[in-house]
Amino acid sequence: MNYILQTILLSLLPISELRGGIPYAFSQGMNIFTAYTLCVFANILVIPLLYLFFETLHKPLYRIGLYKKLFDFWVTRTQKKAEDKIGKYGYWGVMLFVAIPLPITGAYTGTLAAWLLKLDKKKAFWHLALGVVIAGIIVSVVTVTGVELFQIFLKK
């Protein structure tokens, strides 16, 4: 499979998102600015797709035991992780939550939190997208810095 397609897929997956896509693309020789742009756009695409899923397929699937169990686990985990921060600060809380590139703080969890808090979709989209942009910058800086430091240590 083409590494560009793999980069896009990594950026779309809930576990890796930008934290996987940007370093992978950079490791394959892609310019960091191209990697950033490609991965951020792919990860932002998650937001409307997830909202569409919640509005269409979620209700019928929720009747299925396994789906219900997995979804309820995801909701419980999201509420524990995000309720205080996002509930208190609303849209800006969602943006900050997504902007911090740690496990379980990406576009998927941020969109779920915005949906659970019944935030306006359009306004939430822009805040979530800004969070993805900021997270992409952080991941890109860490990736380039990490590679440069690694190369310095290899030369010694």
Average pLDDT, the chain: 91
Whether 46 and 12 have beta carbons less than 8 Å apart is answered as: yes
Pick 80 or 52 by higher pLDDT: 52
What is the per-residue pLDDT for 117?
A: 87
pTM: 0.88
Residues 6+ apart with CB under 8 A from 102: none
What is the per-residue pLDDT for 76?
A: 85
What is the per-residue pLDDT for 44?
A: 98
What is the per-residue pLDDT for 148?
A: 77
Mean pLDDT confidence for 75-95? 81
Q: How confident is the model at residue 156 (pLDDT cuts 50, 70, 90)?
A: low
CA dist 130 and 29 (Å) reads 26
Q: What residue type is 104 in one-letter code?
A: I
Q: How do residues 26-58 score in pLDDT, each as one tens digit?
A: 999 999 999 999 999 999 999 999 999 999 998
CA dist 93 and 105 (Å) reads 12
Q: How do residues 102-145 score in pLDDT, each as one tens digit?
A: 888 899 999 999 998 889 999 999 999 999 999 999 999 999 99
DSSP for residue 13: S
